[in-house]
Structure 1
Amino acid sequence: MNSTGTISDLSAEQSVLGAVFLDSNVLDEISFLEDRDFLDHRHQQIYRVMRWLDKRNKPVDVVTVTEMYVQHNRADELSVTYLTELAESCPTTANVVYHANIVRSKAIRRRGSEIGNKITALSREDFETDEEYFSAVEALVAEMRPDDNGKMRSLVETRQKYFEHLLSKEITYIESGFPQFDGWAKGLYRGDLFISAGRPSVGKTAMLLQRVIGVAESGPVLIWSQEMDEDQLKDRMISNITGIPFNRIRNKELSPKQYAEVEEAYNRLEQLPIYIQDSSGVTIEEVRSTARRFKRKHGDLAMVAVDYLQIMKIPQPKGRTRAEAIGKVTQAAKQMAREMKCVFMMLSQMTRDSDKNPKKPTLSELKESGSIEQDADVVEFLWIDPNDTEQQGKVVQQFIAKGRNTGLNEFRLLFRGWKQQFIELDKKQK
C-alpha cells in the first residue's frame, strides 16, 4: 500500500474512534465493524476495548479505556496523549457510518490480498484430492466475508415483502412420497436440517433412497454415500421400483424378463435429477462447495443427503471434543439448508445403549447428541418394537422426536427388506 493510501486509511480509522469517544451510542450504528478491520494494531485494540466496555454498559471515554489498559498491565502500549488526540480529532459524529464503511471496505481488500498470498502458498501443499484443495481455498475466501448478522428491519419496512410472500405460489415444502407423513407435515421443508437416526439394519439407507425418488420429482438431489458405492445404491433403488428381490439384483441372477424390467426402471430413474458421489470421508466443506456449483448450474436444489454423519471427515482441533467438532458440521449443514433453500437430510447413528432395551428412543440416544439435537429442525428415529409384528415384513416405528414446524408424531412402516421398500401402515389399535 502506498503512503498516501496508508495515511487516508488511518485517518478514517481515527475519525471512527474519535466519534465513539464523542458519543459512544454510535457503536450501535457501526455494529458491522470488526476490530480486525482496523489497519493499525493500536486501533484494533482500542476498538476491542470500546466494544467490551459498551457490552457491559460501562461508559466509553478516554478515562475508562485508559483504565482498562492499566488493569491489564498494558499501559506502556498506548499513551493517554494519543487517546486524547483521537477524542479531539472528530468534531462531529455525523459521518461516522461513512468513515466506518471506508474502514471496512479497505479491510476487505487487504484481506483479499493476504488471502491471495495464502492461496498461492496452498498450491505448494500436498492434498490427497483436488476436492480437499478446493475446500481449503473456499475456506480461505470465506474468511474475507464480514461477520454481518444482517440488519434489523421493522415490520413497516418488511410489510411489502411479507404480503408478496403470502401471495406468491412458491412452495416451501417438498413431498417425500410417503402419503401419511406428507398429509401430516406437508412434506419436507426447504431450509430444514432433517436428521434420520437408527441402529444398523433398520433400513435408514433404504428409507433415504425411497424418499430421494419422491423428492427428485421436485428438483435436483445430491447424495453423498460413504459406505456404499453408486452401483449398490442403484441396486436398492431398482429393487424398490421393480419389486425384484434385492438379492437377485445384487447377485446378478436376473431372468431376461427381470433384466427388461430393470432397464425400464433405470430409464425412469435417469429422468430424475439424482446425482451420487460415493466417496468416503467427505468433509462438510466439500459438500457445500459441490452443492454451490450445482446450484449455479442447475438452479435450486431440492435435497442434499449425506449417509451418514459420524463417518464424515470431521477435523477435531486440539482442545475440542468430538461432540464440539460434530457441532461445527451440523451448524454448517443447517446454514447450507437455509442458504440454498433445500432440505439437508443427514443420516445418523444412535448410541449403543439403545440396543440394550428396545423402546421408543429419546433425543439423548443420538450419538454425539447435543449439537445434533440443537441444530436439527426435524429428528426422526427408525426403531423396532419387538411387540409389533406383521407377517408381510418387518415393522419399523417412525418416531418424529423433534419437529420445529410440525410437532411430534409416530407412524408405522412395513419394511420389506428383500425389495428395499417401505409402506406406511395404519396405526396399531390399542
Structure 2
Amino acid sequence: MASSNALIARIETGEAHYRVSPHNLDAEQALLGAILVNNDAYYRVSDFLEAQHFHEDVHRRIFEVATTLIRAGKLATPITLKTFLGEQDLGGLTIPQYLARLAAEATTVINAEAYGRTIYDLAIRRRLITIGEELVNTAYDAPVESSPRDQIEETERRLYELAETGRYDGGFQRFADALTHAIDMAAAAYKRDGQLSGIATNLADLDRMMGGLQSSDLVILAGRPGMGKTALATNIAFNIAKAYEGEKQPDGSIKTVNGGIVGFFSLEMSAEQLATRIIAEQSGVPSYKIRRGDMREDDFYKITEAARAMQSIPFYIDQTGGISIAQLAARARRLKRQRGLDMLVVDYLQLLSGASKKGENRVQELTEITTGLKALAKELNVPVLALSQLSRQVEARDDKRPQLSDLRESGSIEQDADVVLFVFREEYYLKNKEPKPGTEEYFKWQTEMDQVHGKAEVIIGKQRHGPTGTVQLAFQADVTRFGNLADEDKLPERVGD
C-alpha cells in the first residue's frame, strides 16, 4: 500500500521531531489486507501473532475482531468487520473506507508469515525498549527500601520471560526429529559412565532404578527431620560435580560429557556448614570434630587434602535465605549463562516464598513454587532436586515409612513432580526406644538395632518413566555419608552353589 495515505502521513510527520519506537505500518497493512482477502492467511500467523503485537491501535482492533470471527468459523471481510469496529476518523478515511483500501491493496497470501514475523519481531524490540526505559527510570528514582540487587533480579526476570515468549519456533515438530533426538540421547548414555540416560548419582542401586537424574525432571526428596534429606542431596550433588568432565565444541562452548555443574540453593544451612558436611564426608573425619577443632594431626591432614582436591569442582552454593521462586529462577538462569548448569538442588521447598501476599493460602503458595520449579527444570533443561518436609502424621503410624499421601497437604508437590523420593532410617526411630539395659526387651532391641544399624532406605514413591520401589543404602551418621550397600544378594555367586 502506498506510504502516502493519511494514516502513515500522520505518523511520519512526527518522526522528524522525535525518535519513535520501531514499527512497520506497511507490513501491518499488508498482513491485514491479506487476511481480509483470504482468511487462510490468518492461520499462517495465528500460532505466534497476537493483537498486542501491532503498533497501531486501529490495526490491533482489526486483527482482534478478525481473529474472533475466524475462530468462530465465520468470514472476516471488510463488510463483516465494519459492524464491530464503530466509527473513527482515520485522517479523512472512515473505518469502512480504510478496510476496503486494505483489502484492495492487499498482496499475496504467500507472504503473510513473513509479514507476521516482521510485526512480531518489532513488537519484541518495543518491549525491550520499555524494559530498558523502566530500568533507567527506576534506577534514577528508586524507593528507599528497594536495593539495586532487587532491581537487577526483576529486570532479569522480565528479560527471560520475554526471551521465552519472544519466539515463534514452537508448535509441532516432525516425528523424525524427535527420533533423532532420542537416538542422540541413547548414544550419549552409551558413552557416559554407568551407561545411564541421565546424570549418575554414584549410588548404584538408585541409578539402576532411575537411570540417573533426567534432564527437565522435577525430583522431590522428602522426609521427616533427622532422616538425612540434606545429607543425601549433598552427597548426590557432590558426586555429580566431582565426576564432571567437559568437552570443547567447535563453536568454543563446553559440552558436559560426564557428571555435571551443580547449583545448590541452601536456604537453611550456611555455605560454611554445607562445606563442613562435604569435607567430613570426603575426608572421613566426623563433622563435630571439624567444628570443635578436636582433631589429631592426621585428621587435619585428611581434611586439608580433601579440601585441596575439591578446589576445582564445579559446585556453586547460594546461601541466601527466604528468597522467592522468581529470585531463585533468575539466579539459576544467571548461573547457567555465566558458568553452565547441569543440575539444581533446592534445600528446601518450604523455605521458598511465592509471589502471593503474606498470610494468603500457603497451599496455594506451595503450588506456585512447585509449578515454578517444574517450569524452571524444563526451561534450563536440567534436573531440579527439591527437598521437602513431611507432615507430622507420619509419626502417628506404627510403620513410619513415608508414602505419597503424606505430601497431599502440600498442594501440588505430588502432581508437579516427575519423581518423588522418600528417605527413611529405621535406626533413627529405634534408637529413641532404648529399653532399660539388661532386660529381655533390651536384648531384643539390641538385635533389631544390629539389623538396621548403618542402613537407610530411599523409597521411590513415584516415577513417571520408571518403576517404584525401595533402594537400600549404607549411611554413616558421623560423616553424613550415604553409599552403596554391599549386602549378601549383591555379592558374586559362590562356586558350587
Asked whether the two chains share a fold, i.e. TM above 0.5, the reply is: yes
The one-letter code sitting in structure 2 at the alignment partner of 1:25 is D
Q: Which residue matches 2:27?
A: 12
Q: Which residue matches 1:307?
A: 347
Structure 1 residue aligned with 2:36, among 4, 18, 21?
21
Residue 346 of structure 1, CA deviation: 1.2
The one-letter code sitting in structure 1 at the alignment partner of 2:142 is E
Question: 1:216-231 residue pairs with structure 2 within 5 A?
Answer: 216=241, 217=243, 218-231=259-272
* Residues 416 and 103 of structure 1: CA distance in aligned 2, closer, same or farther (over 3 Å): same
Structure 2 residue aligned with 1:420, among 463, 469, 480?
480
Structure 1 residue aligned with 2:370, among 322, 330, 336?
330
Residue 229 of structure 1, CA deviation: 0.8
Question: 1:31-50 residue pairs with structure 2 within 5 A?
Answer: 31-50=47-66
Q: The residue matched to 1:173 in structure 2 has which SS?
A: coil
The one-letter code sitting in structure 2 at the alignment partner of 1:348 is S
The one-letter code sitting in structure 1 at the alignment partner of 2:470 is E
CA deviations on 1:340-385 (whole Å, 9 max, x unpaired) are 3432211122234444335554434326644333332212122456
Structure 1: distance between partners of 2:171 and 2:417: 25
Asked if structure 2 preserves the Cα contact closer than 8 Å seen for 1:196 and 1:204, the reply is yes
Residue 233 of structure 1, CA deviation: 0.9
Structure 2 residue aligned with 1:260, among 288, 293, 301?
301
Residue 125 of structure 1, CA deviation: 2.1
Structure 2 residue aligned with 1:273, among 311, 314, 332?
314
Asked if structure 1 preserves the Cα contact closer than 8 Å seen for 2:23 and 2:122, the reply is no
Structure 2: distance between partners of 1:236 and 1:214: 13
Q: The residue matched to 1:44 in structure 2 has which SS?
A: helix
The one-letter code sitting in structure 2 at the alignment partner of 1:233 is L
Structure 2 residue aligned with 1:345, among 369, 376, 385?
385
Q: The residue matched to 1:254 in structure 2 has which SS?
A: coil
Bigger Cα Rg: 2
More RCO (CA 8 Å, sep 6+): 1
Residue 207 of structure 1, CA deviation: 0.8
Structure 2: distance between partners of 1:354 and 1:49: 56
Residue 181 of structure 1, CA deviation: 0.7
Structure 1: distance between partners of 2:454 and 2:392: 21
* Residues 131 and 365 of structure 1: CA distance in aligned 2, closer, same or farther (over 3 Å): farther
Asked if structure 1 preserves the Cα contact closer than 8 Å seen for 2:30 and 2:107, the reply is no
Is 1:366–2:401 an aligned residue pair? no
Structure 2: distance between partners of 1:14 and 1:320: 47
Residue 274 of structure 1, CA deviation: 1.6
Structure 1: distance between partners of 2:67 and 2:456: 54
Asked if structure 2 preserves the Cα contact closer than 8 Å seen for 1:215 and 1:302, the reply is no
Is 1:212–2:237 an aligned residue pair? yes
Aligned residues: 423
Asked if structure 1 preserves the Cα contact closer than 8 Å seen for 2:22 and 2:125, the reply is no
Q: Which moved more, 1:257-266 or 1:81-90?
A: 81-90
Q: Which residue matches 1:198?
A: 223
Asked if structure 2 preserves the Cα contact closer than 8 Å seen for 1:412 and 1:427, the reply is no
Q: Which runs of 5+ in 1 are unaligned?
A: none
Structure 2: distance between partners of 1:343 and 1:225: 17
The one-letter code sitting in structure 2 at the alignment partner of 1:276 is I
Residue 89 of structure 1, CA deviation: 4.2
Q: Which residue matches 2:111?
A: 95
Structure 2 residue aligned with 1:183, among 190, 208, 229?
208
The one-letter code sitting in structure 1 at the alignment partner of 2:354 is I
Asked if structure 2 preserves the Cα contact closer than 8 Å seen for 1:393 and 1:417, the reply is no
Residue 39 of structure 1, CA deviation: 0.9
CA deviations on 1:375-421 (whole Å, 9 max, x unpaired) are 32212122456699643637543221221222322223454433212
Is 1:125–2:165 an aligned residue pair? no
Asked if structure 1 preserves the Cα contact closer than 8 Å seen for 2:217 and 2:378, the reply is yes
Asked if structure 1 preserves the Cα contact closer than 8 Å seen for 2:366 and 2:411, the reply is no
Residue 307 of structure 1, CA deviation: 0.8
Structure 2: distance between partners of 1:81 and 1:147: 35
How high is the sequence identity, in percent, across the aligned residues?
28
CA deviations on 1:213-272 (whole Å, 9 max, x unpaired) are 211111321111111111111222222233333322333322333222222222233242
Q: Which residue matches 2:471?
A: 411
Q: The residue matched to 1:400 in structure 2 has which SS?
A: strand
* Residues 355 and 128 of structure 1: CA distance in aligned 2, closer, same or farther (over 3 Å): farther
Q: Which runs of 5+ in 2 are unaligned?
A: 1-10, 89-93, 244-258, 431-444, 490-497
Asked if structure 2 preserves the Cα contact closer than 8 Å seen for 1:173 and 1:187, the reply is yes
